[in-house]
Copies of this chain bind each other. A is one copy, B any other.
Amino acid sequence: MNKSKNKNVQKQDLSKNQQIIFDLIKKSNEPLKAYSILSNVQKKGIKAPLQVYRALDKLVEIGKIHKIESKNAFMACQNSGCQIAKATAFSICENCEKVSEIKNSKLFEYLKGFDDKSGMKYKKYNLEFFGVCNECTAK
């Protein structure tokens, strides 16, 4: 019974490795690096770097996680439904290393509509702001 389980579910199912790795990243309050992920999932049977990188690639592709390029690290998407995987913005504290995904629809709209004179059609962007966060400034 219950054959209809998941029938009309929009949310794309993740494969076993993808789910394990996504769960780990989601639980984390900081961006995780690939080899740190690896050492955390070895007890679950994921043994090789490539298994991690393949899952990461897929998760990035479907927008469940983002890569913080300046840190070679990955964090779960914080935006509703992960709809804006192709338009990412982060704030990074240079002191405590905290990274947050920026949710700002004006910024999003501005950059989405950005058009220079090159004639290039932009499909995607990634923006990383660096500074000192509130907590660190207070100290």
Binding site for B on A (CB under 8 A): 69-70, 91, 93-94, 100, 102, 104, 107, 110-111, 114, 116, 118-134, 137
Contacts and interface: CB of A to CB of B under 8 A. Distances in A.
Nearest to A70: B69
A124 B119 contact: no
Nearest to A91: B120
A99 to B, nearest CB: 11
A125 B134 contact: no
A123 B130 CA distance: 6
User: Which residue of A118, A120, A130, A137 has the most chain B CB atoms within 10 A of its CB atom?
Assistant: A120
A127 B126 contact: yes
Given A91-B118, A107-B114, A110-B110, A124 B129 contact: yes
